Amino acid sequence: MILRCIECGKEYDPTEVRYRCECGGLLEVLVDLDKVENVFDGKNITLWKYESFIPVEKRVSLNEGGTPIYRLENLQTELGMKELYVKNEGANPTGSFKDRGMTVGVSKALELGMDKVICASTGNTSASLAAYAAKSSIKAYVLVPSGKIALGKLAQAIVYGAKVVPIRGNFDDALRVVVEASKELGVYMLNSINPFRLEGQKTIAFEIFDQLGFVPDKVILPVGNAGNISAIWKGFKELYEAGFINKLPQMIGIQAEGASPLAKAWKERRDFKSLKKPETVATAIRIGNPANWPKAWRAVEESGGVLESVTDEEILKAQKMLASKEGIFVEPASASSLAGLMKLRNETEEDESVVLITTGHGLKDPNIILEGFELPEPIEPSLEAFKEVL
Ligand code: F0G
């Protein structure tokens, strides 16, 4: 195993604490694919089933992964499709896919002998880091955009015992401070520019293949800091290079319109420019300067995919559809995968198989539902009164 810069190819020793190349490029972990095991038999699925692909020795685990994949029987009929699935990452221990990154990332922190960890977060990363730090008895610091983090996520970070620091600014501002703090204060940084985070998250690809028994034509997911789409693509490529699969899916990344610098650049075929004031109801992906954009861009390009954006209205409509037609309650950011599919429906063939990734649990952000719903006046506790409101 080695760390390599995706821009200049310079290699680094993975026992060194390093997040970027000297040239500024992002790093990736190269795993020895001669040593990986073909364990894809559809049984006993958990993240650590794929341990031969995961480049850490230590293991801090809360039993992450093994999330359900559902066939969306109602929605696929409604949308005129044959095979539509959701992989529901809200079923992870802290309610989001971030747990996959943190089980590996915090394990790496311990291997490196670090006793403090830090991240910037729109909410889920902070909740997850806080939980895995608690399990490891190390200190977690989390910087979050003041007033722009969903209630449930904030409660999680607090109860797991992290030092929660709200900042006057957005996620991008918080990440800047965190990068500086990790250098100056010797705290291990666990945002998704840390390549070990992505080594955990790539297991979403392994599970999709393991659960379905085939590789879908398209994988659609929300894009914020652009780590997850890069990680899932890396997972599929490793399966391909190991000779376990013989096709690759198209990777389709969805951003919220008010925070869509990547989707805009993609559509206009121009260079990516960061956005100073991102805004969206999907606070998890309220990000104007996605740090992993070069990896994400390559994932979409290599896979023949696309980057698209959806409005807040489309996101909330999709959130309601998933809950009321399929019984799956996801947070707004996660619903952007379905919103994206509906927007791109004309570009999808009827018989294509599509997997939507829903990234976080709906209960993390209950306010967004209650704000749009007026509870009726209470009734008298009698059958007559009940019959009147039926
Ligand atoms: N969906 C949810 C629910 C998220 O929390 C995030 C990112 C994403 C999608 C986007 O993933 O950044 O890998 O492109 N949340 C981060 C956080 C930024 O701090 O919790 P990405």
Nearest CA to ligand 1 atom 15: 284
* Cα 53 from chain centroid (whole Å): 19
Which of 286, 300, 359 for a ligand 1 pocket mutation test, highest count of atoms within 8 Å of Cβ?
Answer: 359
Low-confidence ranges of the chain (pLDDT < 50): none
Q: Report the pLDDT value the prediction gives residue 372, as an integer from 0 to 100.
A: 82
Q: Report the pLDDT value the prediction gives residue 172, as an integer from 0 to 100.
A: 97
**Ligand 1 nearest atom to the CA of residue 123, by list position:** 20
Taking the model in full, what pTM does it have? 0.98
Q: Please tell me the distance from the alpha carbon of residue 298 to that of residue 347, in angstroms, as a whole number.
A: 21
Residue 265 makes CB contacts below 8 A (sequence gap 6+) with 271, 272, 273, 307
**Ligand 1 nearest atom to the CA of residue 226, by list position:** 14
User: Could you give the residue ranges of the DSSP H alpha helices within the chain?
Assistant: 73-78, 98-111, 124-136, 151-159, 171-185, 195-201, 203-212, 227-241, 261-268, 293-303, 312-326, 332-343, 367-371, 383-389
Nearest CA to ligand 1 atom 1: 359
Q: Report the pLDDT value the prediction gives residue 271, as an integer from 0 to 100.
A: 86
376 Cα to the center of ligand 1, angstroms:
35
Half-sphere exposure of 275 (CA within 13 A, CB side): 25
Q: Please tell me the distance from the alpha carbon of residue 100 to that of residue 212, in angstroms, as a whole number.
A: 20
Q: Please tell me the distance from the alpha carbon of residue 311 to that of residue 313, in angstroms, as a whole number.
A: 5
Ligand 1 pocket residue status of 226, Cβ below 6 Å = yes
What are the backbone dihedrals phi and psi of residue 353, each rounded to the nearest 5 degrees, phi first?
-95, 130
225 Cα to the center of ligand 1, angstroms:
7
Q: Which residues lie across from 85 on neighbouring strands?
A: 71, 355
Query: pLDDT tens across 278-326, in order?
Result: 999 999 999 999 999 999 999 999 999 999 999 999 999 999 999 999 9
